[in-house]
Amino acid sequence: MKQLARARHHRGLFSFVAACVAVALAGCAAPQPTQLTNELPFEQAVAEATDGLVSQTQKLPAFLAKVESKIAKRAVVLDPMLDAGSGQQTGATELLEMRVSERLTSKYDQFEILPFQSSSLSKAQYLLTGTMTRGPRSAGKGTALHVNLALTDLRSGSIVAQSSAIAQDKGLDHNPLPYYRDSPVLVKDKVIEGYVRTSTTAPGQRADAFYLERVAAATVINEATDLYNSGRYQDALGRYRSALATPAGEQLRVLNGIYLTNVKLGRTAEAEQAFARVVAMGIAYNELGVKFLFNPGSTEFWSDPKISGAYGMWLRQIARESTTAKTCMDIVGHTSRTGSEQTNDSLSLQRAAYIKQRLTTEAAELGSRTKAVGMGSRENIVGSGTDNAVDALDRRVAFKIVPCG
């Protein structure tokens, strides 16, 4: 009975403190974000960014700090961290979230990391998001990693802390995890864009509403993606279907996951139906980036049929969905950074023209409603110039919806 009374006391105290914090934040200036502008070794940059995040949560009025020290740990759910440019999870983003979690739980007793599950959302006080992306170095040539972390109060939907750091990009694994490596399209929709915006939003401001409203669905999507990455394709398909059945589940990540799992399970017809839905959603968002890989320096699709075998089906569905939607499109070819600018511009245009020709073969009316454009490497998403799985998205062909006439 004493334990039950103590638990009730703590719950009541926690509710009181949460209400007081909300009032205090409303009446006082929000804490300033932590911005580390010197380029640091990766481990140090992540540690200092995490410390900066925590320090902002401790800037409470003295009486609140004293009361808060008596209550249970503050629970945090961590939505898996992403590469901000591509929207992908990579070996490096996994390392980032691992280091942030270790720092929070080993150095700060007041925090507890809960698994990213739907049941955790009602128990947690904070939602933790984080991104990394390549950007210009603070000094000198080349690139560095820009890391952003944010804590969102799940009850109010407001950012309570945000920090950023610049890290050296040495020895990190930027290969995408299997789901993203196998994905035929750039999986960066409004939800992912909202996640990225949330991670850079200043304290006192609201987290991105579109993203926050879909966090519960994101927990199911994450479970499905983890299953896919571990090779449990039947189980992954079931979870993707469960996500799709939720009110906020019709997302590009879900439809893409249903396509990928059906491919792995050898269900050709189901895979094609799923890809058609991926294309339709891309058209609805006015842009669809597809990873058509070509042989080096040519307009011929990659020779390995394990990679290019599905391209005919992709083109068929892109043609059908574009015809049904009566859209006009720019077909934009892209290349990686390797090679001269002139060569890349010419090659990207030739590849876009080849895709246009293939689409016109599928649906003749698209000939007058499509235009081939070559962007070379000017719109690289990754920009590593490695010409492997890391920068496959840089060699994409994008379909941008434009006004007709």
Class of residue 238 by CB neighbours under 10 A (exposed 0-12, middle 13-18, buried 19+): middle
Residue type at position 119 = S
pLDDT band at 9 (very low <50, low <70, confident <90, very high): very low
pLDDT for res 16 = 46
| pLDDT for residue 370 | 96
pLDDT of residue 297 exceeding 60, the answer is: yes
More confident residue, 318 or 338: 318
What does the DSSP assignment read for 33-74? PEEEEEEE-HHHHHHHHHHHHHHHHT---HHHHHHHTTSPPE
Name which of 359, 301, 305 is nearest 328 in CA terms.
Answer: 359
Q: How confident is the model at residue 63 (pLDDT cuts 50, 70, 90)?
A: very low
DSSP helix/strand/coil, 147: strand
**Cβ–Cβ under 8 Å, residues 239 and 223:** yes
The band of 135, judged by pLDDT with boundaries at 50, 70 and 90, is confident
Q: Where would I find the H helices in 230-330?
A: 233-244, 252-264, 268-284, 305-308, 311-325
d(CA 301, CA 281): 25
Alpha-helix residue ranges (DSSP H) falling in 183-267: 190-199, 209-212, 215-229, 233-244, 252-264
Residue 22, helix vs strand vs coil = helix
10 alpha carbon, distance to own chain's centre: 36
Residue 29, pLDDT score: 66
At residue 358, does pLDDT exceed 50? Answer: yes
The predicted pLDDT at position 25 comes to: 46
**Burial bucket for residue 308 (CB in 10 Å: 0-12, 13-18, 19+):** middle
- On whether the CB atoms of residues 110 and 126 are closer than 8 A, the answer is no
Model pTM above 0.95: no
pLDDT band at 24 (very low <50, low <70, confident <90, very high): very low
Tens of pLDDT, residue by residue over 64-78, are 444 444 456 899 999
Query: Over the chain, what is the mean pLDDT?
Result: 88
Whether the per-residue pLDDT at 333 is higher than 70: the answer is yes
Cα gap 113→338, rounded to integer Å = 42
Tokens matching residue 376: 């070379």
Domains annotated on the chain, with CATH: 2-199 (no CATH), 215-285 (1.25.40.10), 286-405 (3.30.1330.60)
Q: In this structure, what are the phi and psi dihedrals at residue 211, rounded to the nearest 5 degrees?
A: -70, -50
Q: Summarize the confidence of residues 97-102 as an average pLDDT.
A: 97
Region 319-344 average pLDDT = 91
